[in-house]
Amino acid sequence: MSSFPTPLILASRSPRRKKLLHQIGLRFRIIPSGADETFQKGISPAQNARRVALRKARDVAGGLKNGIVIGADTIVVLNRHILGKPVSLKDAKRMLYLLSGKKHCVYTGIALVDVRSRQEWSAVERTFVKFRKLSSEEIDRYAASGSPMDKAGAYGIQDDYGAVFVEEVNGCFNNVVGFPLARFSLLLESALSSLRTKKKSLLL
CATH no., domain 8-203:
3.90.950.10
The mean-pLDDT minimum among 58-62, 137-141, 146-150, 170-174 falls in 146-150
For residue 127, the model assigns a pLDDT of 98
Write down the pLDDT at residue 188. 95
User: Of all helices (H) and strands (E), which one includes residue 126?
Assistant: strand 120-131
Q: What are phi and psi of 127, to 5 degrees?
A: -135, 140
Catalytic residue (one of 73, 91, 150, 160): 73
Residue 41, pLDDT score: 86
Whole-model pTM: value is: 0.90
pLDDT of res. 2? 47
Of the candidates 170, 71, 85, 83, the residue with the CA atom closest to the CA atom of residue 123: 71
Per-residue pLDDT tens over the stretch 53-94: 999 999 999 999 999 999 999 999 999 889 988 999 999 999
CA angle 6, 18, 141 (to 5 degrees): 165
Distance, CA of 48 to CA of 43 (rounded, Å): 7
- What Å distances lie between residue 157 and 21, 101, 167, 188, 202, CA to CA? 17, 16, 11, 25, 46
In this predicted structure, what is the pLDDT of residue 121? 98
pLDDT tens, 39-54? 888 899 999 999 999 9
Calpha distance 60→32 (Å, rounded): 7
Apex 52 CA angle, 46 and 54, nearest 5: 100
Can you give the residue ranges of every domain in the chain? 8-203
Question: Taking a C-beta distance cutoff of 8 angstroms, is the pair 17, 43 a contact?
Answer: no
**36 among known catalytic residues:** no
* Cα three-residue angle 162-89-134, rounded to 5 degrees: 40
